[in-house]
Amino acid sequence: MLAFLLIAVLALTYVVSTVVKPKNYPPGPRWYPFFGCNGIISSRMSKHGSQWKVLSEMAKEYSTNVLGLKLGSELVVVVYGMKNIRHVATEKEFDARPDSFFLRLRTFGKRTGLTFVDGPVWKEHRPFTLKILRNFGFGKRAMDVEIQVQLSQVLERLDNCKGTPINIRMFTAMAMLNVIWMYVAGEHLEESTMKKLLNSISQRTKAFTMAGGYLNQWPWLRFIFPTWSGYSILQKLNSQMLNIIREAVIKHKNNNVTGNDLINSFLEEMFLNKEFYTDDQLNGICLDFLLASSSTGSSVLDFAIIMLLRHPEKQQKVYEEIKQVLGEHFPTWADSEKLVYTSAFIYEVHRCCTIAPFPGGRRALADVTIDGHVIPKGTTVLLSLGDLHVDSDMWIESDKFMPERFIDEAGQLKTTTNVYPFGIGRRRCFGEPLAKAFMFIMFAGIIQKYKLVCSGPTPSAVPIIGILAEPVYFTARYVKRHDIGAD
């Protein structure tokens, strides 16, 4: 009897400890044993459509710019507003990434790569990777040329469609993959391989929230509900990506790839530094590039096309500027300074359609105080860039699509945009130079050659939000400019 009472007391003590918030923890919803805030958040998802929107409404409900949560057993804080976001993004106490089951599962069960590592591994590999890529033309004129090659192929595919309604997503996503894989592995991927990979990545993006969902909080769910928990799609995607990466690495080890690329440089470094340069780390870096290149660039371009369809008068203005400045010449990244309205249009797409409302989370390396609230060491911290981009205190008529807001009185692009599609601070996206150039060249190149026309109801600009924001499925007609005469 005494033993039973002791067990009961210990169990009760544990249960109570799971619902008691740390001292001065940020305001937020109440916690329940084992589940934390999950039940409350899930119950509001049907109304608001995404975890990001639910948390945004909660922050307003509690009148706070620092929202305190508990997801399962994990402490999670969401920060809002430029001041708090900049604090987390730039202070060294938040340089670390969360270390969770979901993030390890993402990189084949190990903590490797660039995006979600920290400490010595990150400090060693980020500068090494960026240096190698720059040496091979990343962010330079050579990158423009590679993007233009892919643009030519996209335009050829559109020509073959002869104005019939299509969804362009697969064309542009394959183009982005080919550009980045040329830098990583010195070759292009087979079209069938890319299509399978892109379909799996899209399923993964829609199946999870940024925090990894229930699978991250209760990993044992994968044994009971592998499909419902999302574990099956992750394993399928991991298998596809690992096969692509291993095949490329084997080719390089057997000297079957000519020229210089990231894999070659990494393998050479392995002979000099076996501690940091391992096969697992190479797999992780390659995976980061595959995921980043296949998701963000094509999604932003899709949103841009939706906005062109929703605002035909703005589409005409973009085209007239391109026609006047470029004529028939292919666009380059350097042209972005001359194509002021076109660049402003892209900025406004980034603002209105934030691809990563919560960019990669941070982990507090010490107890930190923000707005008078204590964020305990080890807490996962999310930066709500999605809310920042539609903050009515920062943006006039924030709910309207207005490229003009980025153009000053002299008709030039404003130097400060307060738009951060690639994150902010030291942990911002390492593929930013490619993403910017790809988006601009592909967007301008398509509008230069085609008029975009709705093939049905005007598509909604409201995103589908999972790990990232994706546009709704839509089709459009791409009518060649030469076929409709002078515009």
* pLDDT one-digit tens code per residue, 32-78: 888 889 889 988 988 888 889 999 999 999 999 999 999 988 999 99
What is the arithmetic mean of pLDDT over 411-420? 87
Q: Judge if pTM exceeds 0.75.
A: yes
The rounded percent of the chain whose pLDDT value lies above 70 is: 94
Task: Quickly tell me which residue has 């153009």 as its tokens.
Answer: 407
What is the arithmetic mean of pLDDT over 261-277? 91
Dihedral angle sign, alpha carbons of residues 34, 37, 38, 44: positive
**All domains in the chain, ordered by first residue:** 1-83+355-388 (no CATH), 95-354+389-483 (1.10.630.10)
HSE-CB of 97 using CA atoms within 13 angstroms:
26
First to last CA, the chain: 89
Q: For residue range 425-484, what is the model confidence (pLDDT) as tens digits? A: 888 888 888 999 999 999 999 999 999 999 989 999 998 887 788 899 999 999 999 766
Residue 365: phi and psi, rounded to 5, are: -90, -5
Please name which of 391, 307, 392 lies closest in space to residue 353, comparing C-alpha atoms: 307
**pLDDT at residue 256 tops 50:** yes
Cβ-based neighbour number of residue 206 at 10 Å: 15
What is the arithmetic mean of pLDDT over 13-28? 81
In sequence order, what are the residues at sequence separation of 6 or more whose Cβ sits closer than 8 angstroms to the Cβ of residue 479?
A: 163, 450, 451, 452, 453
pLDDT of residue 139: 80
Q: For residue range 3-17, what is the model confidence (pLDDT) as tens digits? A: 777 777 776 666 666
Q: For residue range 82-92, what is the model confidence (pLDDT) as tens digits? A: 999 999 999 99
DSSP 327: T
Question: And the tokens for 202?
Answer: 């899209």
| Residue 486 binned pLDDT confidence (cut-offs 50, 70, 90) | very low
Q: For residue range 105-159, what is the model confidence (pLDDT) as tens digits? A: 878 788 999 988 999 999 999 999 999 999 888 888 889 999 999 999 999 999 9
For the chain, the average pLDDT equals 89
**pLDDT at residue 487 tops 70:** no
Most confident of 56-60, 96-100, 246-250, 482-486: 56-60
Residues in the chain: 487
| Residue 205 binned pLDDT confidence (cut-offs 50, 70, 90) | low
**pLDDT at residue 201 tops 90:** no
Q: For residue range 309-328, what is the model confidence (pLDDT) as tens digits? A: 999 999 999 999 999 999 99
Cβ-based neighbour number of residue 30 at 10 Å: 10
- What's the CA gap between 162 and 261, in Å, rounded? 37
∠ CA 475-480-484, nearest 5°, is: 115
pLDDT of residue 485: 57
pLDDT of residue 131: 92
Residue 470: phi and psi, rounded to 5, are: -120, 150
Task: Quickly tell me which residue has 């988006």 as its tokens.
Answer: 439
Question: And the tokens for 466?
Answer: 């999972």
- What's the CA gap between 478 and 447, in Å, rounded? 9
Task: Quickly tell me which residue has 């975009």 as its tokens.
Answer: 452
3-class SS shares of the chain: helix, strand, coil, % to 5: 55, 10, 35
> Worst-scoring range by mean pLDDT, 17-21, 73-77, 162-166, 175-179?
17-21
Question: And the tokens for 62?
Answer: 């509690």
